[in-house]
Chain A
Amino acid sequence: MASVPVSSADSAAPRSLWLRQRWLVLRRLSQALVLLAFLSGPWFGLWIAKGNLSSSLTLGVLPLTDPLLALQTLLTGHLPYSAALTGAAIVLGFYLLVGGRVFCGWVCPVNVVTDAAAWTRRRLGIKTGRVPDAATRYWLLGGILVAAAVTGRLAWEWVNPVSLLHRGLIFGMGGGLFVIAGIFVYDVLVASRGWCGHLCPMGAFYGLLGRTALLRISASKRSACDDCMDCFTVCPEPQVIRPALKAVGQAGPLILSSDCTTCGRCIDVCDKQVFKMTHRFDQRSE
């Protein structure tokens, strides 16, 4: 309880709108601020970050580079300048520390698209479709690394929807919109959480970085769970909840799976306030 500022322990009282949307709002704010840092320059002449998520320079001093892109560059046989390598190391270190898929939930612009698709799918009550195996993303990740080495160029960057959308939002966009629209339609009609949860190789890569994540969600009040399934419905990676909530294969209440994007939506939707945002070493449960 200590680290969660819960307004009322009485679960019968209806929670405020803020408490029901808190993490979603914070997350959208984070995504918008990341984008704004890149757009304040071209829009208002106030340069905070230059470039895009692939590689950037913040305040003229801090280089940041997508480590997966740096890895692909190395595989093509090109040794980038130290600016790019330093940037990749900083990003790598940050996500190793905080949690790899924090990128997916808090930074990646495609997340907004796929969240909207998941919401649409729920509202329309679409249950049909065919979901690819969640391991497909790891094969695709391996595939794009092999493609970089074999073709000698950053092959995935021709189609990568994540960089397409972020670059498009900052530098202007045309044909890339079709790819993004395609992902939206795919997630609505064909596969629930199909792109982010099953296919995206960037998500797979950042997932691999999440095994030592400090920022974690804990089902600390799991005894209060009334099996309403709200958390499973909204969770982009529902399989991560069960071990912590139902103590399957683990004793502690921490969600430890590196697939968890730490989006905190389960905290928002749970009327019993089972979940809380905490750190890796917080094993307390009530």
Chain B
Amino acid sequence: MDSARQPARKSPAAESPASAARRRFINGVAAAAGGGCLMALGAGLYSRSASALPAQALRPPGALAESDFLAACVRCGLCVRDCPYHILKLADLGEPVPTGTPYFTARQLPCEMCDDIPCVKACPTGALDRELTDINQARMGLAALVDHESCLNFLGLRCDVCYRVCPVIDKAITLETQHNPRSDRHAMLLPTVHSDACTGCGKCEKSCVLPEPAIKVFPRKLAQGALPAHYRKGWEEKARHGGSLIGEQVELPVRGFEGSTAGRSATETVVAPATPEPSAAPAVPVPPSKDISGVVRRGGLDSHWKP
């Protein structure tokens, strides 16, 4: 035991029991700290990587911006319980929605937009903001008519279902009339979503008659673009101030497009001259021009440029 009482500075075998205990203690603390911090780090990293809301998952009305929502929502499911239509679900581990958080899928069950918004009232933490008292001000997502090729109204038919089921009809979705170039005699009534009124309830997506909906509701972040903050729309500024803010602009003449429709209003009907103008070259057919690839082109704009 004499050697054990000496200060530990030789071989490990000659260390005092106190030193060995200290080493065990330090090892233990290091393992505990390492293990504990590693697990916490893993959870933190996983929470970051698994935080993106998938395109088809919508938050209940009044939900804070997604990053704030993930800080505030304790995943208790009280909103799920108080939803009278049982549209809300809590995500399970492994689902693309962050674990335990509430969401709904418009195509399965859209939000019925209750006047008293019971889900918001149920939330104990403010992840669903009680500032929202008018359900028409909810912004759960934003509808987008994503498929112009399949939408029946874009094909010139009168489906209109998304427009008619919209709880904010004529504000969130309007039908915009356009000439149908295919038949050349009909109108197309195009469903058009307006972001300032769309609540993202999902009724339009739910009721789209196609097997795969042409109109879909996405989280706003996915569906909406944004102008840079410094952009000013000249026509709006002009209307607001009663005149151009930068004075009269020089009108430059447009050359090379005389007789074409370029630069004219789309509503203006342009009638092609029936006969060549008298000042033009002798009435011989214009020889078809050949482009580099050798393909014969007829019509189109002729710049009159000659080599």
Contacts and interface: CB of A to CB of B under 8 A. Distances in A.
Interface of A: 41, 50-52, 54-57, 63, 65-66, 69-70, 73, 76-81, 83-84, 87, 132-144, 146-147, 150-159, 163-164, 167-168, 170-176, 178-179, 199
A81 B31 contact: no
A63 B44 contact: no
B222 interface: no
Interface in B40-66: 40-44, 46-48, 50-51
B159 interface: no
B71 A154 contact: yes
The A interface, classified by DSSP as helix, strand, loop or mixed, is helix
A156 B71 CA distance: 11
A174 B93 CA distance: 7
A175 B125 contact: no
Contact of B76 (A51, A135, A179, A199): A51
- Shortest Cβ-Cβ A-B pairs, 10 listed: A143-B40, A139-B36, A175-B94, A55-B76, A76-B71, A147-B44, A133-B32, A140-B36, A153-B70, A155-B47
Contacts of A141: 36
B71 A153 contact: yes
B31 A132 contact: yes
Contacts of A69: 74
Given A152-B71, A155-B47, A159-B46, A132 B95 contact: no
A78 B75 contact: no
Contacts of B33: 139
Contact of B72 (A78, A150, A176): A78
A141 B100 CA distance: 20
Contact of B92 (A51, A87, A173): A173
B94 A73 contact: no
Interface in B1-53: 28-29, 31-33, 35-37, 39-44, 46-48, 50-51
B78 interface: yes
Nearest to A175: B94
B58 to A, nearest CB: 18
Contacts of A56: 76, 78
B126 A78 contact: yes
A146 B36 CA distance: 12
27 contacts: A50-B77, A50-B81, A51-B76, A51-B77, A54-B76, A55-B124, A57-B78, A57-B122, A78-B72, A78-B125, A132-B31, A132-B32, A136-B31, A139-B33, A139-B35, A140-B36, A140-B39, A140-B40, A144-B40, A151-B44, A153-B47, A153-B70, A154-B70, A154-B74, A156-B47, A179-B93, A199-B35
A77 to B, nearest CB: 7
B37 A143 contact: yes
B220 interface: no
B80 interface: yes
B130 interface: yes
Contact of A175 (B32, B51, B95): B95
B67 interface: yes
B107 to A, nearest CB: 20
Contacts of A158: 43, 46-47, 50, 93, 98-99
A137 B35 CA distance: 9
B68 interface: yes
A81 B93 contact: no
A137 B31 CA distance: 11
Contacts of B71: 73, 76-78, 152-154
Contacts of B40: 139-140, 142-144, 146-147, 155-156
Q: Which has the most chain B C-beta neighbours within 10 Å: A50, A132, A140, A153?
A: A153
A135 B78 contact: no
Given A135-B29, A142-B36, A151-B44, A159 B93 contact: yes
Contact of B32 (A57, A70, A139): A139
Contact of B43 (A133, A136, A159): A159
Given A164-B99, A164-B100, A167-B77, A73 B72 contact: yes
Contacts of B43: 143-144, 147, 155-156, 158-159
B29 to A, nearest CB: 7
Contacts of B29: 133, 135
Given A50-B81, A143-B41, A155-B44, A167 B90 contact: yes
B22 to A, nearest CB: 15
Given A73-B125, A84-B125, 16 more contacts: A55-B74, A55-B76, A63-B124, A133-B28, A135-B32, A142-B37, A144-B43, A150-B44, A151-B47, A155-B47, A167-B75, A167-B100, A171-B89, A174-B93, A176-B99, A199-B39
